[in-house]
Structure 1
Amino acid sequence: MPTKGLMQRFADKETVLVAEGYLFEFERRGYLKAGSFVPEVVIEFPNRVKDLHEEFVHAGSDVVQAFTYYGHREKMRLIGKEHLLERLNVDALKIAREVADATGTLMAGNICNTTLYDKSKPETIEQTEKIFKEQIEWAVQYGADFIIGETYLDFGEAELALNCMKKYGQGLPAVVNLAPPAIDSTCDGVPYDVACKKLEDLGADVVGLNCSRGPATMMPIMRKIRKTCSGPIAALPVTYRTTPEHPMMQSLIDPDTNLMAFPENLPAFACSRYQIRDFAKECKEIGVEMVGLCCGNASHYMREVAEIFGRKPPASKYSTDMSLHYMYGSKAHFSKHYTNDYKKMYQSKTE
């Protein structure tokens, strides 16, 4: 059966779940360099990319997002491999399309912050549009169902991305997500809810936030966006324990070293599964239509999100059931004194 399109799913009041976080997950697995964060793994280990797509769908993602994030011309130039630009993008799109077709999910093309945009320098605006144009055209050519533009620190770059999606995207739905830094507005001074409303009014099909902030510091902004925007909104935080004092992952400080935790020591701040469940519940409560996770995401987190939304993806077969545990389960057969002694010790420490 044909896969239902993105906009039809929204029209049918469905929530679309999106697994992101490929950069950090491949870095964690030893297939991507932190710092440059260029997805060379697409060319070097394509089967690993396919496997992770399948793994995220297995955990509940409705979308296979082509791994072209930071695979654009400026990033490829940075590592001296601009000649591989088209190959990387085409291969990533083909892999994602293959998995989406096999699993009955949607395939998203992806563009992102260019790292060179500067509204005061016309030449960077021209370069940025060139980067967007070629990636969008490849996404259209290789069968994307919609396009996600994301991680924009400046409203101006997000607006340019949207304009390019409308100009070169041949009518594909456009998702535009801002990356909220530590301040209360985009880097060019537009409050997030105002920026999202402007993007919505300019024709974005979905607007919202991704990356930078964890659930605790992203969701207060999402509540404002929900009140401001009438169309579908998106929330895709990083999976780290950000706080009002340290609102984004890049501002977290490792207490052992007093150094910036980003990127190598971020696992010390990883969200619990319970916090991811609470994030998904809050999204459900306020009516976020596109829900997912960005940097730090992993399959067990996506399963938690899926289950909060009433899904039973294949990974749910292996969801935790402590009633079966030999020590703590309802039919525990391990020596009772072990668990009783532990309980007494725990109670004495907490009293």
Structure 2
Amino acid sequence: MAQTLFRTGLVLGTKSSDKLNAGEVIVGDGGMVLQLERRGYVKAGHWTPEAAVQNPEAVRQLHREFLRAGADVLQTFTFYCSDDKLELSGNVTNITGAQINEAACDLAREVADEGNALVAGCVSQTPCYLSNRNETEVKSLFKKQMDEFLKKDIDFFIAEFFRYAEEAAWAVQVLKTSGKTVGATLCISPHGDMNGLPPGECAVHLVKAGADIVGVNCHLDPTACIQTVKLMKEGLDKAGLKGHLMIQPLGCQTPECNLTGYISLPEYPFALECRTLTRWDVHKYAREAYDAGIRYIGGCCGFEAYHIRAISEELRAERGFLPPASEKHGLWGAGLELHTKPWVRARAQREYWENLLPASGRPKCPSMATPADE
């Protein structure tokens, strides 16, 4: 490991597109909402981000773990932070969206500056879109959040977790008025969005709205998400449009819900750990995503810091460095070479972990479920 260049004083451009235009890889961060719920700071079901105000140290620490694992971007903890969602979720604390947005931006920037990372201001789907499809009302929510972000030091925007390409496009149109780079990700399957719009057409819709980066996040595992982004790329190529590709999948295996997503699993949301990706699954995912032409590669719900480290390690040659979090354990289990047990020392090699078929450890485990025909 002595010859490895670790990340020290990495200087990034002021926009994510600076790196992407140069053909560089951007490693995103992991899931905030699910991790903070597991740690006791977020309420399941509502998933709203009051913790940015109530428990800033918890949010700060999670950001720091992702940064140490190699993330180039820290997303503000502002998922579901539209005023209508906070009201619908029974926000008895009277913490406003503006307070959350301000605190979340400050926390992300504080930690990002520790490693010269970028900060992405994030907006997500709104309940009022489903209730009335009123473009003016929906856009006003996005603009309010955008204006709050612009008071802070953010580098670019991400519109994430949209089930409808139309609503995502509305978000992009608003965010582009800032003059900053805008990424847009949908939580859709290879079948398309909830209106049945195919992934390729969704991507075209988003790029025409002004998105610089398009892709998918959450809801489905890496295999399904890579397939979806490939279809998005095909759609853009066919339309003669250019857009950088982004992927931040679910950190769980979801082979039998390749249309509806993980919320239809019986384990959602309190027993998903049995489906968690191993770090070796993530190595494979990162390589497949890179080979598919995707250059913004991260994770969403279920992705922990060690998953982000796995992305960083798999793409170390392309990035030219390893993160500090790789110093202790060595690549491909090399740290096991000094173990006292010979059968454990024998696992200090890439071949062992690449060929491993992980067991669940649960009697009569249904983990080999047959993917549904959807």
Q: TM-score, normalised by structure 2?
A: 0.81
Deviations 1:292-321 (A, max 9, x none): 100001001000011111141000012332
Task: Tell me the secondary structure at the aligned position of residue 196 of structure 1.
Answer: helix
1:226·1:288 contact (CA, 8 Å) conserved in 2? no
**Counterpart-to-counterpart distance in 1, 2:298 and 2:73:** 10
Match among 8, 14, 18 for residue 28 of structure 2: 18
Q: Name the structure 2 match of 1:265.
A: 271
1:63·1:108 contact (CA, 8 Å) conserved in 2? yes
Task: Tell me the secondary structure at the aligned position of residue 282 of structure 2.
Answer: helix
Percent identity reads: 28
Which amino acid is 1:102 matched to? E
Listed as ranges, the gaps of 5+ residues in structure 1 are 253-259, 333-351
Task: Tell me the secondary structure at the aligned position of residue 318 of structure 1.
Answer: coil
Q: Name the structure 1 match of 2:121.
A: 109
Please state how far the C-alpha of 1:228 moved relative to its aligned partner.
3.0
1:193·1:224 contact (CA, 8 Å) conserved in 2? yes
1:251 maps onto 2:259 in alignment: no
2:30·2:305 contact (CA, 8 Å) conserved in 1? no
**Counterpart-to-counterpart distance in 2, 1:331 and 1:155:** 49
2:29·2:73 contact (CA, 8 Å) conserved in 1? yes
Greater mean alpha carbon deviation, residues 105-114 or residues 216-225: 216-225
1:215 maps onto 2:227 in alignment: no
Q: Name the structure 2 match of 1:349.
A: none
1:291 maps onto 2:304 in alignment: no
Match among 141, 148, 157 for residue 147 of structure 1: 157
1:73·1:82 contact (CA, 8 Å) conserved in 2? no
Which amino acid is 1:275 matched to? D
1:249·1:266 contact (CA, 8 Å) conserved in 2? no
Greater mean alpha carbon deviation, residues 71-80 or residues 135-144: 71-80
Please state how far the C-alpha of 1:82 moved relative to its aligned partner.
5.3
RMSD: 2.0
- The structure having more radius of gyration, on CA atoms, is 1
1:121 maps onto 2:128 in alignment: no
Q: Name the structure 2 match of 1:97.
A: 109
1:191 maps onto 2:201 in alignment: no
Task: Tell me the secondary structure at the aligned position of residue 116 of structure 1.
Answer: helix
Which amino acid is 2:186 matched to? L
Task: Tell me the secondary structure at the aligned position of residue 252 of structure 2.
Answer: coil
Match among 178, 181, 184 for residue 173 of structure 1: 181
Task: Tell me the secondary structure at the aligned position of residue 250 of structure 2.
Answer: coil
Which amino acid is 1:96 matched to? A
Q: TM-score, normalised by structure 1?
A: 0.86
Please state how far the C-alpha of 1:99 moved relative to its aligned partner.
1.4
**Counterpart-to-counterpart distance in 1, 2:154 and 2:20:** 18
**Counterpart-to-counterpart distance in 2, 1:34 and 1:48:** 16
**Counterpart-to-counterpart distance in 1, 2:159 and 2:85:** 16
Q: 1:121 to 1:71 in 2, by over 3 A?
A: closer
Q: Name the structure 1 match of 2:12.
A: 3
**Counterpart-to-counterpart distance in 1, 2:94 and 2:138:** 15
**Counterpart-to-counterpart distance in 2, 1:210 and 1:90:** 24
**Counterpart-to-counterpart distance in 2, 1:331 and 1:190:** 50
- Aligned pairs for 1:50-65 (under 5 A) are 50-65=60-75
Match among 56, 72, 76 for residue 46 of structure 1: 56
Which amino acid is 2:228 matched to? I
1:324 maps onto 2:338 in alignment: yes
Task: Tell me the secondary structure at the aligned position of residue 113 of structure 2.
Answer: helix
Q: 1:289 to 1:246 in 2, by over 3 A?
A: closer
Listed as ranges, the gaps of 5+ residues in structure 2 are 1-8, 237-241, 348-374
1:73 maps onto 2:83 in alignment: yes
**Counterpart-to-counterpart distance in 2, 1:245 and 1:69:** 23
Please state how far the C-alpha of 1:217 moved relative to its aligned partner.
1.6
2:50·2:95 contact (CA, 8 Å) conserved in 1? no
- Aligned pairs for 1:326-345 (under 5 A) are 326-327=340-341, 328-330=343-345
Task: Tell me the secondary structure at the aligned position of residue 301 of structure 1.
Answer: helix
Please state how far the C-alpha of 1:30 moved relative to its aligned partner.
1.1
1:55·1:299 contact (CA, 8 Å) conserved in 2? yes
Q: Name the structure 2 match of 1:337.
A: none
Q: 1:285 to 1:41 in 2, by over 3 A?
A: same
